[in-house]
């Protein structure tokens, strides 16, 4: 079990302030709901009740991936928003210590596979909070037919912009996120709603 936590965004800030960071300790086990049963130390807890381990994951990382979310986001956005070819993807990412093309393909395939569930959650939130979003049909009835021609991963990326814009106005903790952080925001937002895998 994993709890995604925001430590201010950058890896450098996390490393520089590691000794002074305050790590969230759950008062209730997210697995079984038992109160006061999580024991342990920095970044990992053990529930004495259900005997599961709970890990704390900084929001600049994604479960099951060995690269920073910023590098993965560069690839996913370039592929699904900018329609970059695999060869074109190698150039901008190379500066950041390029992953293999095989890794980039895996990330994009995984993002595409998980995008429908995430898009459904984002659509529901947008329909509830800002039904006038151009992607939605009137009265928040889903994605417009003209937008539906866009592949679902591209729609999720577009919808994440609207979700972040809404959150920046209504949620104080979202004000620190910019357009370059929208997948990190989406990752935190969705994980809090039970969406475990984004990429």
Each residue of 5-27: pLDDT tens digit? 777 667 787 778 777 777 777 78
Q: Are residues 87 and 175 in the same domain?
A: yes
* 15 and 91 part of one domain: no
Between 63-77, 92-106, 113-127, the lowest mean confidence (pLDDT) is in 92-106
Question: What mean pLDDT do residues 58-64 have?
Answer: 81
Range of the domain at 52: 1-60
Is residue 34 over pLDDT 80? Answer: yes
Q: pTM of this prediction?
A: 0.73
Q: What is the mean pLDDT of residues 105-113?
A: 95
pLDDT tens-digit series, residues 112-151 = 999 999 999 999 998 888 877 777 765 445 665 555 567 8
Three-state SS for the chain is: CEEEECCCCCHHHHHHCHHHCCCCCCCECCCCCCECCEEEECCEEEECCCCCEEEEEECCCCCCCCCCHHHHHHHHHHHHCCCCCHHHHHHHHHCCCCCCHHHHHHHHHHHHHHHHHHHHHHHHHHHHHCCCCCCECHHHCCECHHHHCCCHHHHHHHHHHHHHHHHHHHCHHHHHCCHHHHHHHHHHHHHCCCCCCCC
At 132 the pLDDT is 78
CA distance 93 to 71: 7
Give the total number of structural domains in the chain: 2
Q: Please check whether residues 47 and 117 belong to one and the same domain.
A: no
Could you say which of 11, 30, 60 is where a domain stops?
60
Task: Say if residue 6 is in the same domain as residue 70.
Answer: no
The pLDDT of residue 186 is 92
My answer on whether 123 and 190 are in the same domain is: yes
Residues 6 or more apart whose CB falls under 8 angstroms from that of 180 comprise 70, 73
For residue 148, the model assigns a pLDDT of 55
Place of tokens 């800002």: 130
52 and 72 share a domain?
no
Domain endpoint, select from 12, 36, 60: 60
Q: Report the distance separating Cα 87 and Cα 68, nearest Å.
A: 21
In DSSP terms, which residues pair with 58 in a beta bridge?
5
Percent of the chain with pLDDT over 90: 21
Does one domain contain both 106 and 41?
A: no
pLDDT of amino acid 138? 55
Residues 181 and 95 in one domain: yes
Residue 85 and residue 55 in one domain: no
Mean pLDDT of 67-83: 90
In this structure, the answer to whether residues 122 and 181 fall within a common structural domain is yes
Q: Give pLDDT, residue 40.
A: 65
90 and 26 in a single domain? The answer is no
- Claim to verify: residue 1 and residue 83 sit in the same structural domain: no
């Amino acid at each position: 079990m994993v709890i995604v936590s925001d430590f201010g965004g950058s890896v450098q800030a996390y490393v520089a302030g590691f000794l002074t960071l305050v790590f969230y300790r759950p008062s209730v086990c997210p697995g079984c709901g038992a109160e006061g049963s999580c024991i342990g130390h920095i970044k990992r807890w053990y529930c004495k009740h259900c005997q599961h381990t709970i890990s704390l994951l900084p929001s600049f990382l994604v479960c099951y991936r060995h690269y920073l979310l910023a590098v993965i986001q560069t690839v996913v956005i370039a592929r699904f928003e900018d329609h970059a070819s695999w060869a074109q993807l190698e150039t901008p990412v190379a500066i950041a210590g390029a992953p293999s093309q095989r890794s980039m393909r895996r990330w994009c395939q995984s993002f595409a596979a998980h995008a429908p569930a995430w898009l459904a959650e984002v659509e529901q939130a947008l329909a509830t909070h800002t039904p006038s979003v151009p992607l939605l049909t009137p009265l928040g009835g889903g994605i417009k037919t003209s937008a539906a021609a866009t592949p679902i991963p591209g729609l999720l990326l577009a919808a994440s912009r609207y979700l972040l814009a809404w959150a920046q106005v209504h949620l104080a903790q979202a004000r620190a996120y910019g357009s370059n952080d929208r997948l990190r925001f989406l990752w935190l937002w969705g994980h809090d709603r039970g969406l475990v895998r984004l990429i």
